[in-house]
Amino acid sequence: MIVRISGEGQFRLPDEDADRLNELDNRAVSAVEQGDETGFYELWSQMLELVARDGNVLDADELVESDVILPPRDIAFQEAQGEFTGNGLIPD
C-alpha cells in the first residue's frame, strides 16, 4: 500500500500494515473525540513510527496515487480534531 505523509511524500508499505495502521487510526479518532490530547499524540507517533520503520520512500519517477494520506507530522491537536473524524477515508 502507498501512504503519503502530507507535506513529506509517499512511502510504500507492506499490505499487512494496513490493518495495524487502521487500528491506530481508529484509536486516534476516539482519542480525539474524547479530547485526550496525550493519548492522541501517543497514537500519532506510533503511526508515524510504523511508516518510518516499514515504509520505503517512493522513487521520484513513480507517479501513483496514495491509498492513505496522513496529516502533516506537526499536526496541532486542534487541527487533528478536524482531520481525525468518524468519516471514513477508505470506503468499506
Partner 1 sequence: MPGLGGRMSTVIKSKISRMLDRAEDPSETLDYGYQKQVEMLQNVKKGIADVVTAKKRLQMQSSKLEQSVVKLDTQARQALSQGREDLARMALERKTLAQTELQSLDSQIKELEGQQEQLTTNEQKLRQKIEQFRTKKEVIKAQYSAAEAQVRIGEAASGVGEEMADLGLAMQRAEDKTETMRARASAVEELEAAGTFDDITQLGGGQDDIERELQELTSGAEVDDELEKMKAELGTGSGADAPALEEGEGTQKEGSA
Tell which positions 55-84 bind partner 1, by CB under 8 A.
60-72, 74, 82-84
> Which span (6-14, 35-43, 49-57) binds partner 1, by CB under 8 A?
6-14
Strand 56-57 relative to strand 68-70: parallel, antiparallel, unpaired?
unpaired
- The 7-26 contact track toward partner 1, x by CB under 8 A, reads x-x-----xx-xx-xxx-xx
In whole angstroms, what is the distance from residue 61 CA to residue 68 CA? 19
Are 71 and 29 a contacting pair, CB within 8 Å?
no
- Asked whether the CA dihedral 71, 72, 73, 79 is positive or negative, the reply is negative
Which positions touch partner 1 (CB under 8 A)? 1, 4, 6-7, 9, 15-16, 18-19, 21-23, 25-26, 28-29, 60-72, 74, 82-92
